[in-house]
Amino acid sequence: MNAQFLKLLGGWLGVPTLIALLFTFGNGAIPSAESQSALLTPTPLPTSRPLREPAGVTPHDPNISFIDSQSAMCYRPVPGTGTCYLAWNYLYVTASSGQYVISMTVAIDGGIRAYQSGFFQTYMYIPGDMYGRGFKVTCGLPGASGDPLFGKSYRYEIRARETGGLAAANYGTVVCPADASKLFLPNILR
């Protein structure tokens, strides 16, 4: 097989499929023109990805990835700064049997704040201190979340994808303590 054909084939099929094909045809056998055209025909991507549901699993349910993330917490390290941090103790993703984890993302209020990618691994463990203090957010004024004792609330979404094309997601909302930055301006007399 020539290098240009392998490069084209690797771009369409991906590395794991290309390795399997090279192993299959690596004994010197050259595939026919019909089988080459069948290999080069791209397959359409699925339009929707199933999400992991917390309901009971039945024998007919597909095996998809699993995400373990303890409840998120929002804390204020220094009062009077208006700065809070969202953090988890750890994030753990495991792929279904025979699959590998491709990626995991953490989004806060719709914006992606972290992205991890996997390479031939069946699980991914991210300790909380890998993100330092956590993800920096604004604490908010008292009542910003609807509760007069707390500040703003934030939606988070943790998503994982695996090589089989399936995905899992965890959603939640966390409320931060109320805090505002205090700025003192000097009194200047004219």
Strand partners, 105: 115, 159
109 closest CA partner among 81, 89, 86: 86
pLDDT tens digits, one per residue of 8-53: 444 544 544 444 444 444 444 444 444 444 434 333 333 333 334 4
**Token output for 90:** 């750890």
Domains of the chain: 3-40 (no CATH), 66-177 (2.60.40.10)
At how many degrees (to 10) do helices 3-13 and 33-40 cross? 40
pLDDT tens digits, one per residue of 114-172: 999 988 888 899 998 999 999 999 999 999 999 999 999 999 999 988 888 888 888 89
Residue linked to tokens 């204020």: 76
